[in-house]
Amino acid sequence: QKEVEQNSGPLSVPEGAIASLNCTYSDRGSQSFFWYRQYSGKSPELIMFIYSNGDKEDGRFTAQLNKASQYVSLLIRDSQPSDSATYLCAPATGANNLFFGTGTRLTVIP
């Protein structure tokens, strides 16, 4: 049974702070990891993906992957109110399937 667990929310951070979103997964065969952002009532939007251990930075977003610990995280620097959304972690399997966590709801307080 493949499982994806994300830190329980909701998570609230003040504007300008760093938001840290965590995810653990059970399938050691997962090679690719995706972070999606979903605004209320909208479909998910791909914001980052990471394949290799270590950090990957894209603008204000940094994804961190540790395959040995089966852990992936997303850091959002200089958080903005527009970052308020649910963030979904999704490891991929060899069959193109993504397994979504239940998501962490982030609120950035102005």
Partner 1 sequence: GAVVSQHPSWVICKSGTSVKIECRSLDFQATTMFWYRQFPKQSLMLMATSNEGSKATYEQGVEKDKFLINHASLTLSTLTVTSAHPEDSSFYICSAVQGVHEQYFGPGTRLTVT
Strands 11-14 and 104-109: parallel
Given 67, 75, 100, 107, the residue binding partner 1 (CB under 8 A): 100
13 lines the binding site for partner 1 (CB under 8 A): no
106 lines the binding site for partner 1 (CB under 8 A): no
Coil, strand, or helix at residue 66? Answer: strand
The DSSP string of 33-59 is EEEEEE-TTS--EEEEEE-SSEEEEET
Contact string 36-75 vs partner 1 (x = CB under 8 A): x-----xxxxx--x--------------------------
2 lines the binding site for partner 1 (CB under 8 A): no
Tell me which stretch binds partner 1 (CB under 8 A): 12-20, 21-29, 67-75, 101-109.
101-109
Q: Please choose, from the candidates 46, 39, 37, 4, the residue with its C-alpha nearest in 3D space to the C-alpha of residue 22.
A: 4
92 lines the binding site for partner 1 (CB under 8 A): yes
- CB of 13 or CB of 98, closer to partner 1: 98
Q: Is the bond preceding 44 in cis, omega lying within 30 degrees of 0?
A: no
36: tokens are 């999606």
State the residues that interact with partner 1 by CB under 8 A. 32, 34, 36, 42-46, 49, 88, 92, 95-98, 100-103
